[in-house]
A and B are shown apart, each in its own frame.
Chain A
Amino acid sequence: MPSLQETPCLRKERSVPSLMWNVTLALCTLLVLPTVYYGWRPLAMAFVTVALCCLAEVAVCLVRRRTIHSDPSLLVTGLVIALLMPVNAPFWMPAVAALFAVLVVRAPFGGTGCTPFNPAAAGVAFVTICWPERMFSYVNSTIGWVLPVFGDCTYMEVRSPAGVLKEGLKPDIVPLEMLWGRFVGPMGTTAMLVIGACGLFLVFRRIANWEAPVFFLLAAALWAALCPRIACSPLTSVKYELMSGSLFFCAIFMVTDPVTAPRTAVARSIYGAFCGALVMAFRHFGAYEQGACFAILASNAIAPLLDRAAGAVRVWGGKIVES
């Protein structure tokens, strides 16, 4: 693993730990509302996921006979996985996702700063493929039941707005109400205002670059406006698409991953737009109601090509683009 100061994706005055601690802080704020609605289960799930990420990394370090660093990027991976799970998911699901993320996506490629794919996206994608029914059934948050911390929660399962849209139907909830986060969906993706605030925090603190998420959201909004899945006005379609599922969450926390996103501003803009369009394509044509993780994996694969193309364009145009 590169030393914590050597990761090439950072500006000079930043270090990996400070960047990751800020992202971790932002992610932790997303645990507040689910804890209020559902009890201690979301916190327990986040704790288990993060703990497993760390334990897996320790195991890898022991096998490789390397010194064990404290690596806050594991916290980010674990929290992202937990926040993308339904709150009623059995604990082994985020556990499997966490182990997949660390042992398959991180460790073979060298660890922090070297991964070609976003580990959390890959872990969630793996679990989605293996257990799609469990991934997309949610407990109704408006009833006000406190869920058992560790037990089974397969009662009163309902479809999320993303699932309803996938079937070509209009969700019961109006877009304005979705802002307050009181609707079913993956644990950390429904609190729109909090996610937006986190995004502004990360961008203004220069922890995340703005190009990728902005172009991501613009591309997704454009597609939603031009090709609505339900019979409604373009604006309503944009509101539903941007606020349902994990699209907004992925725009702020996964598309901005400095390791897997391109290095140059031009490439990041194209990357964001491509990813946004791909998310909408998955929503229209894909097999699952949420395809953000798959879109991110595909975009991670073309990120090096975009960097190379952007570099070539810089050379030909003779114009220096700030990276």
Chain B
Amino acid sequence: MKAKTEQTRPSGRSTLRETRTVFTNGLFFKNPVLIGALGLYPVVAAGYNLRMAVELSILLFLITLPTGLVCCFLGGLIPNWLRPGAVLAVNAVFYLPAAWCLNQLFPGSLHSLGIYAGLTICNSMLLSRCNDYAPYHLARAVLADVFGCMIGYSLVLCGFACLREFLQRGSVWNSNTGTYIAADKGTALPFFGFILLGFAAAFTKWADNRRDKKAERRVPRG
């Protein structure tokens, strides 16, 4: 996506294509968890049941979106050395309304999330997008990146949580699916999350490699 410093006005189609690329990169091909190894702790440690995963995803989204936009509009004005602290402070400010909204949507969720709710302020994916990407890109790119990354992140978080809760309890979101697997809480522990994440990252890398090979074959010769 074109950086803010460029003066040329891109055509509508290429802008849309570029926005879509930014979105799909955040969603899958450059997924922040599976490729960037960012924001690991909610996936491996907190994401052992679907309800917590959904609550964390919503909280993270409600913090990332406004922070990303603020950093997009104002981030370039702040010196590089000052920006990490400023981004953290902005995160902290937006955490308060986000946490309030989450508690309205899911009463008691803040209490059940415990330490993980507070640590979303310091989530490395959030800090990375707001500190390293948003200040240098246009607002539509930042929005596409935020949405792409958040959806990609949430899909990984909720997908893993679904699997782990099913292995642990034989049901998802406290609903009874009618099956029961004799698994103990081992699958709820962080080590299992790391291993699952490793395999998912391998799958993503494989898909990426295949896409690159196809793209190479499509390049006309001569």
Contact = CB atoms under 8 A, between A and B. Distances in A.
- Direct contact between the two chains A and B in their complex (CB within 8 A): yes
Contacts, number: 16
B189 A129 contact: yes
A21 interface: no
A178 B2 CA distance: 75
Contacts of B199: 108
A46 B200 CA distance: 32
A47 interface: no
A108 B183 contact: no
A104 B191 CA distance: 12
B198 A108 contact: yes
Which interface class (under 10, 10 to 19, 20 to 34, 35 or more) fits B?
A: 10 to 19
B74 interface: no
A126 B186 contact: yes
A305 interface: no
Contact of A130 (B187, B195, B198, B202): B187
16 contacts: A104-B195, A108-B198, A108-B199, A108-B202, A126-B186, A129-B184, A129-B186, A129-B189, A129-B191, A130-B183, A130-B184, A130-B186, A130-B187, A131-B184, A131-B186, A132-B184
> 10 shortest A-B CB distances, which residue pairs?
A130-B186, A129-B186, A130-B184, A131-B184, A104-B195, A130-B183, A108-B198, A129-B189, A108-B202, A126-B186
A132 B187 CA distance: 13
Contacts of B191: 129
Contacts of B198: 108
Interface in B125-163: none
Contacts of A130: 183-184, 186-187
Interface string B160-192: 000000000000000000000001101101010
Nearest to B183: A130
Which interface class (under 10, 10 to 19, 20 to 34, 35 or more) fits A?
A: under 10
B204 to A, nearest CB: 14
Nearest to A104: B195
A215 B184 CA distance: 36
A131 B191 CA distance: 15
Contacts of B184: 129-132
A178 B183 CA distance: 34
Nearest to B198: A108
Interface in B185-218: 186-187, 189, 191, 195, 198-199, 202
Contacts of A132: 184
Contacts of B195: 104
Point out which of B189, B195, B202 has the most chain A C-beta atoms below 10 A from its C-beta: B195
Nearest to B167: A130
Interface in A113-151: 126, 129-132
A108 B186 CA distance: 21
Given A130-B183, A132-B184, 5 more contacts: A104-B195, A129-B191, A130-B184, A130-B186, A131-B184
Nearest to A126: B186
Interface string A184-214: 0000000000000000000000000000000
Contacts of A126: 186
Nearest to A105: B195
A130 B189 CA distance: 10
A1 to B, nearest CB: 17
B197 to A, nearest CB: 12
Nearest to B202: A108
Point out which of A104, A129, A132 has the most chain B C-beta atoms below 10 A from its C-beta: A129
A131 B183 CA distance: 8
A104 B194 CA distance: 11
Contacts of A131: 184, 186
A131 B185 CA distance: 9
Contacts of A108: 198-199, 202
Contacts of B189: 129
Nearest to A96: B183
Nearest to A125: B191
Nearest to A132: B184
Contacts of B187: 130
Contacts of B183: 130
B180 to A, nearest CB: 14
A104 B199 CA distance: 9
Contacts of B186: 126, 129-131
